[in-house]
Amino acid sequence: MADATVPLTKSGFDPAALATRAAIIVAVGVLATAPFWASRADLRMLMEALSFLALAQMWNLLAGYTGLISVGQQAYVGLGGYLFFALAMFAGIPVLWAIPLAAGVAALIAVPVGWLAFRLQGAYFAIGTWVIAEVFRLLAAQFPALGGGSGISLPVALAKSIAQTRGGRETVMYYVAFGIALLSVAGVWLLLRSRWGLALTAIRDSEPAAASLGVDVRRVKFMVYIATAAGTALTGAFIFLQKLRITPEAAFSVTEWSAFVIFIVVIGGLGTIEGPILGVILFFALRDLAADWGTWYLIGLGTIAIAVMLIDRRGIWGALRARGVPEIFATRRVLK
Amino acid sequence: MTKLLEARGLTAFYGDFQALFGIDLSVDIGETLAIIGANGAGKSTFLRTITGLRPARGQDIRFDGKQIAGLAPEHIHRMGLSMVPEGRRLFPSLSVEDNLLIGASGGRTGQWTLDEVLKLFPALTERRHHGGAELSGGQQQMVAIGRALMSNPKLLLCDEISLGLAPKVVREIYAAIPLIRERGTALVVIEQDIQQALKVADRVYCFQEGRVTLSGTPSDLSLAQIKQAYFGTEVA
Amino acid sequence: MDILNLLIQGTLLGGLYALFAAGLALMFGVMRFINIAHGDFIVVSAYLLLVAVLTLGLHPLVGIALVTGLMAGAGYLGQRVLLNRVLDEDILPPVLVTFGLSIILQNALMEGFSADSQRVPAGGFDTASLSLGSEIAIGLLPLSMFLAAIGVLGVLHWIFFHTHLGRLLRATADDAAIVPLMGASNAHTFALATGIASAVVAIAGTMLAMKTNFDPTIGPSRLLFAFEAVIIGGLGNIWGVLAGGIILGVAQAIGAQIDAGFQILAGHIAFLVVLALRPRGLFAKS
């Protein structure tokens, strides 16, 4: 293994790097102009896909780099959604400000919750987080002001405060989704290239080795847990702004916000930034294809996830990387 | 042919790191062999490869006339090849008796029974219902050897059985080896204590950096030869 | 009298939860493996009994025996064919594979039996009760289930501490890596552990089928109950699982008394309190 630092600015001509850079710019450009070319249905689908991308990046950051397998991140999707509704409806916070604020409050709540969850290790942590998400779901149903078990809708006046016309609202909401997704990808990328990234990569490769290098493994994991809780809640707040209605079942759905998200990350490729992106594209393509399959679609999805674990647990991107496809988001400082 | 175990050109890798470079080694029926060598010479890797704990597909290892390379460790064990692992590795939640009985899981019966093992190591008799963790280091080693004997092996591999034990205890444990031999069991003993190895063995192999650097009977080998084979430097 | 009644009902419920938990604890103990689809296998067993009793017209007891044998065999095979291939240091593959199985099972049951709620009639036995004094009545079905649960745990205890298989399971739990040096195959031992766990799951699932209504989606919450009973009771202790199940059952009974929506929540809260105060459980071994 040779140590080599990836230069931040590339000197010399590298066609592969130029091509990937061009591809990123084109992709971001196409997405950034979507309200001008996409149909209303496409725009809604894109918003949903961008939300899933953000959720997938958060789960990937947690599981792929710190090894914390959570089956309970729906706790923060739902918490973000409910906090957003509460802040916007009862605290009078402007709708677009209520979204980041909900994420901030969720991060605060994640501190004691994380303390509790961290008392469990490995697979027990996974199920423990699920119990906590269930507690959140059952508690949400106990607040009559938030609609109790049957849920609540966002008042029309609040929705209209974003923009008067439906088209205008959808454009604004699209850019919120676009911003959140961009933030999740860029945030994870920058985090991994920072001093923290070294610690995270060390933890991913070997926890004992990281600890022997002086990394405070527990603290780093906890900080990442809080950060992903905030990112997940941010996305959750947006998701329920887009849906305009929230119920405990929808907000804390394990299938929607854990199973789908985990399958996206794992099928795409865990522990890479490209994996979740690829996973989201595949997931939505498959969903489009299987629109009429009903339960068979879910059976198929579960089967694919199992197949990935049996055939190549690095996922599609990991398998492509092993066959020489270059990294798009260079985060590694050490070349293997 | 009287060869019980015969390995030819054995290699082993940990990723890119090569640990064994073509080891040729054989054990005769009833023979006691000692393998000596410094830390990292490949002695334990050799035993782990022979026993099937490390993958050995495509290699050439014959035991009792049959090719065993690539077989699962439990299959090799059931053919009569048993190992006392490095560090003893008793099962902490099992009593002494249960630790011994579990050694017979492969179903090989013969002279070694629970009673016979307890006769070999009388110190264990009164502690047979104690947990493995409550024993002294020497007693733990006795359990580990007894556990391996419970499968009535044709060949018993002992990995560093004197490690970390007081000289008196080491003598006690080595006193059992002639009693094991006498029942026809062949032994391979990995030992860092050269004197101890020369005393007990019919033949000695010296490993250095994954190669056999010397082999022969103790009486044929001079101390200078052994030191050179062991440390790899010319000794004046 | 109300308190006593609550304690009795909760305790009887706890027997069932102990059975949910025993299979989970067994698999985790022997191979550090958590089956996310554990609850769904309980529900599958319930549906199998439904088919045996309502479609094939078998007596419930014959049905239970049949389902138990079927599940034990399926558990053994499933471990050998599928789950052994994803067992290693990395916990993601087993979690993900069983999560995938959970989704598949739920939707396959949905496809086969619809989302309708079902129940297996226990032939009048389910409504019979034993009255103690004027205010306390103990249902015969819950009582016999509780006794059966203790019987199953007793059999597990006997297997663990008085058979060679039990010795092997304990050794494997201690240090699976060197068990092959004892002449026993890990793949086989793991599969036997799953086979036994699946038999317990089947007994639990068939009891559930006669006790309450069930539908394809209730598996995950049974997994959580099982998990909570294991953690409350503490690892490495068969009877701790019973204590954990009873504490969970009593907590749920008290919660249900306060408010119907509080039943499950109260159980979760009891679990979280134990986790906060005694993360290794109340009756953990050493």
pLDDT of the residue at C286? 52
- The ipTM assigned to this model is 0.93
Length of chain C: 286
Domains, chain B, in order of start with CATH, read 3-231 (3.40.50.300)
Cβ of A313 within 8 Å of Cβ of C92? The answer is yes
Band (A13; pLDDT cuts 50, 70, 90): low
Q: Are C54 and C120 in contact (CB under 8 A)?
A: yes
Q: Which of C99, C110, C277 to mutate to test the interface with A (most CBs of A within 10 A)?
A: C99
Cβ of C168 within 8 Å of Cβ of B102? The answer is yes
Q: Which of C181, C186, C190, C286 to mutate to test the interface with B (most CBs of B within 10 A)?
A: C181
CB atoms within 10 A of CB B70: 14
**Selected residue with higher pLDDT from A136 and C124:** A136
Q: Are A171 and A306 in contact (CB under 8 A)?
A: no
CA distance A277 to chain C (A): 19
pLDDT of the residue at A336? 37
Residues 27-66, chain C: which have Cβ within 8 Å of B? none
- Burial zone of A117 (CB within 10 Å; 0-12 exposed, 13-18 middle, 19+ buried): buried
pLDDT of the residue at B151? 94
Those residues of chain C that have pLDDT short of 50 are none
Cβ of C100 within 8 Å of Cβ of A306? The answer is yes
Residue A308 lies in a domain: no
Cβ of C95 within 8 Å of Cβ of A126? The answer is yes
pLDDT in tens, B65-101: 999 999 999 999 999 999 999 989 999 999 999 999 9
Those residues of chain B that have pLDDT short of 70 are 1, 233-236
Note whether C110 contacts B: Cβ–Cβ < 8 A: no
Band (A6; pLDDT cuts 50, 70, 90): very low
Residue A177 lies in a domain: yes
Residue A280 token pair: 């989201």
Residue A222 lies in a domain: yes
Q: What is the DSSP string of B166-226?
A: -HHHHHHHHTHHHHHHTTT-EEEEE-S-HHHHHHH-SEEEEEETTEEEEEE-TTT--HHHH
Residue C87 lies in a domain: yes
Residues of A in contact with C91 (CB under 8 A): 67, 69, 122-123, 126
pLDDT of the residue at B186? 94
Residues of C in contact with A139 (CB under 8 A): 265
Q: What is the DSSP string of A7-30?
A: PSS--S--HHHHHHHHHHHHHHHH
Note whether C278 contacts B: Cβ–Cβ < 8 A: no
Nearest CB to A299 within list C93, C108, C224: C108
Residue A183 lies in a domain: yes
Share of chain A above pLDDT 90, in %: 62
Residue C198 token pair: 């699946």
Residue C282 lies in a domain: no
CB atoms within 10 A of CB C110: 18
pLDDT of the residue at A332? 55
Number of domains comprising chain C: 1
Average of per-residue pLDDT across A90-107: 95
Residue C231 lies in a domain: yes
Strand order, beta sheet including B155-159: B81-84, B155-159, B186-190, B32-36, B203-208, B211-216
pLDDT of the residue at C234? 83
CB atoms within 10 A of CB A145: 10
Residue A310 lies in a domain: no
Residues 153-192, chain C: which have Cβ within 8 Å of B? 164, 167-168, 170-171, 173-175, 177-185
Position A334 pLDDT exceeds 50: no
User: Range of A218's domain?
Assistant: 28-253
Residue A319 lies in a domain: no
Cβ of A138 within 8 Å of Cβ of C264? The answer is yes
Number of domains comprising chain A: 1
Residues of A in contact with C223 (CB under 8 A): 127
Residue C243 lies in a domain: yes
Which amino acid is present at A275?
G
Position A7 pLDDT exceeds 70: no
- Burial zone of A22 (CB within 10 Å; 0-12 exposed, 13-18 middle, 19+ buried): exposed
CA distance C186 to chain B (A): 9
Cβ of C167 within 8 Å of Cβ of B104? The answer is no
Residue C283 lies in a domain: no
Residue A100 lies in a domain: yes
User: Range of C222's domain?
Assistant: 2-113+138-277
Q: Are C152 and C203 in contact (CB under 8 A)?
A: yes
Using alpha carbons, list the distances in angstroms from residue B59 to B23, B80, B190.
11, 20, 22
Residue B122 token pair: 């009388």
Residues of C in contact with A263 (CB under 8 A): 100
Residues of A in contact with C90 (CB under 8 A): 313
Sequence-separated contacts (24+) of A143-147 with Cβ below 8 Å: A145/A90, A146/A82, A146/A85, A146/A86, A146/A246, A147/A246, A147/A247
Residue C181 lies in a domain: yes
